[in-house]
Amino acid sequence: MAPRALLLFTIFVSISVNAEEASGIDCTKAFSTPDVEQCIAIELDKTETSLNQAYQGLVKQLTQADTAQDNYTEYRKKLLIAQRAWIKFREADCDTQYAMHKSGTIRNSIYLSCKKERAEQRIKELNNYAPY
């Protein structure tokens, strides 16, 4: 998905999510493609919030004075590099899935589901950094 198209799509999804929540859509009964997309967008938004919390929580744990054994400054830098690389990977991966379904009406649902699944996996990965 081209950067401009992705930006417009993201804005559309954000507006749709707010409109959906306000309209009280019942996602257990979603049947039409627009309703399904809206429900996936709601779930993606929740997952993105959880992802941000997991990342920020780890950064907070790594925000402490360096010691002889642990260079927390370096750990935070490496985590930032890894997170940025992960974001690029997720976009490229989900853009590929979108492109593979570009002629179908399901393409947006595939794209949103891909982003949600990748975010859920990343949350698990970030949580595995424990004991930090």
- Pick out the chain residues at pLDDT < 50: 4-8, 11, 15-17, 19-20
What is the structure's pLDDT at 30? 87
Q: SS in 3 state form for the chain?
A: CCHHHHHHHHHHHHHHHHHHHHHCCCHHHCCCHHHHHHHHHHHHHHHHHHHHHHHHHHHHHCCCCCCCCCCHHHHHHHHHHHHHHHHHHHHHHHHHHHHHCCCCCCHHHHHHHHHHHHHHHHHHHHHCCCCC
What is the structure's pLDDT at 87? 98
pTM: 0.79
What is the structure's pLDDT at 4? 47
What is the structure's pLDDT at 19? 46
What is the structure's pLDDT at 24? 78
What is the structure's pLDDT at 49? 98
Contact 114, 107 (CB under 8 A): no
What is the structure's pLDDT at 5? 47
